[in-house]
Structure 1
Amino acid sequence: NIGSGHFVGLAGTGAAGGIAVGGFEWSQSLPSSLPVPSRSLPVPPSTNQYPQVDMYSGALFIREALGWDLYASVGALLGVTALYTVTGGLTALMFADLVQTLIIIAGASVLAGYALGAVGGYQGLQERYPLATPPNASGPCGRPRPDAFHLLRAPDTGDLPWPGLVLGLGIISAWYWCTDQVIVQRCLAGRSLTHVRAGCVVCGYLKVLPMFLMVLPGMAARVLFPDVVGCADPQGCSRACGSTLGCSNVAYPRLVLGLLPHGLRGLMLAVVLAALMSSLASIFASSGALFTLDVYRKLRPTQLFDYMQALASYLAPPVAAVFFLAVFVPRVNEP
């Protein structure tokens, strides 16, 4: 389920608040490998992916890297993704996801190495992150959180309090990973139950990586670019990234543009586009299945006689019940 929203969003929130956001990803490792019997699975009602967020974050990255227009970027990405999803179906989607996953892990690992190396490793990040304030910061708004390196935070002052992280996120993760249509569709397409279980376990291990590949590099971006990523006033943020609400979302693109040589910049652009297209393709395939089963069948009903019998199956039971009661129960009269 990794999309461009994870690269932009996790790095941005890590830059703004520290490592606690990585708990969202770690909380998903256990539910993704729960041994649920296949015969007890409910039918998933809908898909819970957020295509608008992924499209926006991917287009934001492209705008920062290449200067393209947001809407043109979104249109091009949608067109290419829809083309190979429609023509290749779920099989093409699976093989594309395999390649894209390898690209994502390799490219994100390279950037994480560059980012942490630039700040002196994890120890250097611990020492320099609390000092990463913009030049014009005044008050607590521009200062990093004092609990930035705490995964479990106080329930009264933490932005992600530990009861919510331990209890609330576990419920959300179980709901998403065990019932979401996008995830369940992949499982139902497996060759065997053994393959499905193995795939879920691999996914659980892969969900450990975003903390190291996205959150920590985002924190490093604040150390390296405090005047942009850590901007604290609307005017400064507007000059830095064109947004008056803050610039933490540009943390990952700034790392790519500020640290990597040209060849590796191209690799990271491929990484973010692969993540975006992977998520969009999953949503397209899932939405197509939902549309076919829940809408198209109603727009194109079956044969006429079957249609008549379907109507009768709704009308007949109550009438038959009244008739049999009238015949076999003397107390049932016309009123």
Structure 2
Amino acid sequence: MDTLQASMAGLDWIIVFGYLAGIILLGLIASRGQTDAKDYFLASRAATWPTIGLALIGSNISATTLIGLAGAAYTIGISVFNYEWMATVILAIYCIFVLPAVLRSQVYTMPEFLERRYSGSIRLYFSGLTIFLNIVVDTASTLFGGAILFKLLFPSLALWEIAAILAVTAGLYTALGGLRAVMVTEVVQTVLLLGASVFIAYFAFDKAGGWNQVMSQVDPEKLSLIRPNDDPGVPWFGLITGVPLLGFYFWCTNQFMAQRVMSAKTLDHGRWGSLFAGVLKLPILFLMVLPGTAAILIYPNLEKGDMVYPTLIFDLLPVGIVGIVIAGFLAAIMSSIASTFNSASTLVTMDFARKLAPTLSQAALVRIGRIATLVLMVLSIAWIPVIEKHADSLWQYIQAVLAYAVPPIVALFLAGLFWKRANATGARIGLVLGTATGIYLFIVIAVTETLNMHFLIAACVIFAVALAGVVAGSFLAPAPSLDQIETLMWKKADYDAETAHLRTQPLWQNYRLQALVLIGITAVLVWVWR
């Protein structure tokens, strides 16, 4: 099946090109009337909860997700879904402890938040790291995943050439339209994406002989979420340590996710939108993970798991449905690329350009943001050959890179939110120690392979070293002024005041109850598939 010859009928092409034309036009229409930085980078801080929730999922579910989840389920089992359900727990924590401080600060970027809590040098490091990860992880891997599928349709084109076409298409309305255009198109694309995934799941299970056949014939180990500690996919210790760390970075501090919630018109809308995104994460088990499991019975001899999703599309789906699913796949690519381009350009503009030239006009900031989008687009395309050469599994590539890079940032955020003694000296020491540990473990685990340690457990070690550095280093200098940091921290007094306020609100508006119900549903799902 690795020699699959893909083709599409005329009707399918009409659907795909109709989608592309419509989504670009929609993005350009949504971009009208944006004149200042708040409009361009934060959609005027006027987003409502349905838009935020759908935009979060649209940003999260990329070509990488579609190809990576199905491929990982095929090769290592459904334990890959642990990254997905953990998002519901992280988003509930985010709504209670993190989001109030972020929205109260009125910052444009998450690195700016760290500057106010610690220092400008911390901001520049985090901003630079985020831009780097946006290029080599988020955007490049999404482009690579998209290129894998379209390479089947256009075998004469190189992967980087296909990636360039995808990047330019998404970059067009991103550069012109800003965050509002990105979020409006993400809503449409998320609906299309989820609908297309229903078709994939239906035809995959039908071809495999039905639900009962898949559940009875597939190795039970590949149908289990909770795996032993020697599991190569998601060992249980890594599940309770490394996965939450990566999830906290991705959902709470990663600019291209946090920026959607920072655009909320009120704190309540930010919370409701985040929890709505958590609800939408749960069906992914059935729509995107288990079809990869069904493929074990349909195509038992695939050499590469990343070929599962393209094979399901071109081998199983009828004319017309192929066009809808390819349009949904394009929707995943466009929404993810557009969101990362916009967020990375926000970091370049607000954390570097405005820092170097504080007197820049609003029009100049928007212009710089557009230029930055185009530059980032070129850099992401240039990284495609690197992924092609070194990534055996697209999903594992993404998680492994994050595991070595982001734990020190998580340590800084958690210390800054909950410990008033944490200061800039401690942050710098923690960052240096954590980064050095991450580089060392990456070399001995991934490069020389002289240490046998799963990257999720390595993430926990890096986090512990960084946090210890923050704590020890903070005692080497005076504590920061409470006036400077109190609005940037979680405070029990605010929590208690909010508790009293929530008693006066209808239960259906109580985000804490919503979060509790969401975590309860998640717990049942994990228990059933344990």
**Aligned counterpart, 2:202:** 113
Letter of the 2:143 partner, please give it: M
Choose which of 107, 118, 141 in structure 2 pairs with 1:53: 141
After superposition, the Cα gap between the structure-2 partners of 1:157 and 1:3, relative to the gap in structure 1 and judged at 3 Å, is closer
1:65/1:257 contact within 8 Å kept: no
Deviates more, 1:21-30 or 1:97-106: 21-30
Aligned residue number for residue 220 of structure 1: 294
Deviations 1:265-289 (A, max 9, x none): 1111111111011111111111111
- Cα distance change on mapping 1:68 and 1:196 into 2, 3 Å: farther
Partner Cα separation in structure 2 for residue 177 and residue 157 of structure 1: 25
State whether structure 2 residue 238 is matched by structure 1 residue 164: yes
Paired residues in the alignment total 271
8 Å CA contact 1:107–1:271 kept in 2: the answer is yes
Q: Name the structure 2 match of 1:209.
A: 283
Which residue number corresponds to residue 169 of structure 2?
Answer: 80
The 8 Å contact of residues 100 and 267 in structure 2, kept in 1 or not, is answered as: no
User: In 2 relative to 1, CA 68–32 (structure 1 residues): closer, same or farther, beyond 3 Å?
Assistant: farther
Specify the SS of the correspondent of 1:262. coil
Q: What per-residue deviation string (whole Å, max 9, x for no partner) do you get for residues 231-252 of structure 1?
A: 3xxxxxxxxxxxxxxx211100
Query: Which whole-Å CA distance do the structure 2 matches of 1:209 and 1:173 have between them?
Result: 18
Mapped partners of 1:184, 1:258: distance in 2: 38
**3-state DSSP of counterpart to 1:302:** coil
Q: Percent identity?
A: 34
Mark the CA change 1:157 to 1:31 in structure 2 (over 3 Å): closer, same or farther: closer
Distance in structure 2 (CA, Å) of the matches to 1:157 and 1:101: 33
Aligned to 2:120: none
CA distance in 1, matches of 2:80, 2:323: 27
1:202 Cα deviation from its structure 2 partner: 0.8
What CA distance in whole angstroms lies between the structure 2 residues aligned with 1:33 and 1:121? 35
Give distance in 2, aligned partners of 1:148 and 1:299. 52
**Which deviates the most, 29-38 or 48-57?**
29-38
Render the CA deviation track for 1:120-158: whole Å, top value 9, x for unaligned.
Answer: 22321123334xxxxxxxxxxxxxxx6111110111355
Following superposition, the deviation at residue 71 of structure 1 comes to 2.1
**CA distance in structure 2 between the partners assigned to 1:224 and 1:278 by the alignment:** 31
The verdict on how the C-alpha distance between 1:218 and 1:190 changes in structure 2, with shifts beyond 3 A counting, is: same
1:1-335 matches, cutoff 5 A: 1-34=60-93, 35-36=96-97, 38-41=99-102, 43=113, 45-46=126-127, 47=130, 48-49=133-134, 50-67=138-155, 69=157, 70-130=159-219, 147-157=221-231, 159-227=233-301, 229=302, 231=303, 247-300=304-357, 302=359
- Equivalent pair of 1:5/1:57 in contact (CA under 8 Å): yes
Q: Is the 8 A contact 2:264 2:270 kept in 1?
A: yes
**Bigger helix share:** 2
Query: 3-state DSSP class of the match of 2:185?
Result: helix
- Greater RCO (Cα-Cα under 8 Å, separation 6 or more): 1
2:218–2:296 contact (8 Å) kept in structure 1: yes
CA distance in 2, matches of 1:192, 1:267: 36
Deviation at 1:59, TM superposition (A): 0.7
In structure 2, do the counterparts of structure 1 residues 124 and 68 end up closer, same or farther at CA, with 3 Å as the change threshold? Answer: farther
CA-to-partner distance for each residue in 1:53-99, whole Å, 9 max, x for gaps?
11100111111245462222111111111110111111111110000
Within 1, Cα distance between the matches of 2:217 and 2:314? 21
CA distance in structure 2 between the partners assigned to 1:157 and 1:72 by the alignment: 37
The 10-residue stretch of structure 1 (82-91 or 150-159) with the greater mean CA deviation from structure 2: 150-159
- For 1:143, the equivalent position in structure 2 comes to none
Q: TM-score, normalised by structure 2?
A: 0.49
**AA paired with 1:5?**
T
CA contact (8 A) 1:10 1:21 kept: yes
Aligned counterpart, 1:320? none
1:36 alignment partner AA: F
SS of aligned partner of 1:252: helix
Q: Structure 1 CA distance, aligned partners of 2:234 and 2:355?
A: 44
Aligned with 2:282: secondary structure? coil
Q: Show the counterpart of 2:38.
A: none
Equivalent-residue separation in structure 1 for 2:142 and 2:156 (angstroms): 17
| RMSD, aligned CA | 1.9
Distance verdict in 2 for CA 1:37–1:299, change over 3 Å: closer
Three-state SS of the structure 1 residue aligned to 2:229 is: coil
- What is the TM-score with the length of structure 1 in the denominator? 0.76
Q: Is the 8 A contact 1:155 1:162 kept in 2?
A: yes
Instruction: Flag the structure with larger Rg.
Output: 1
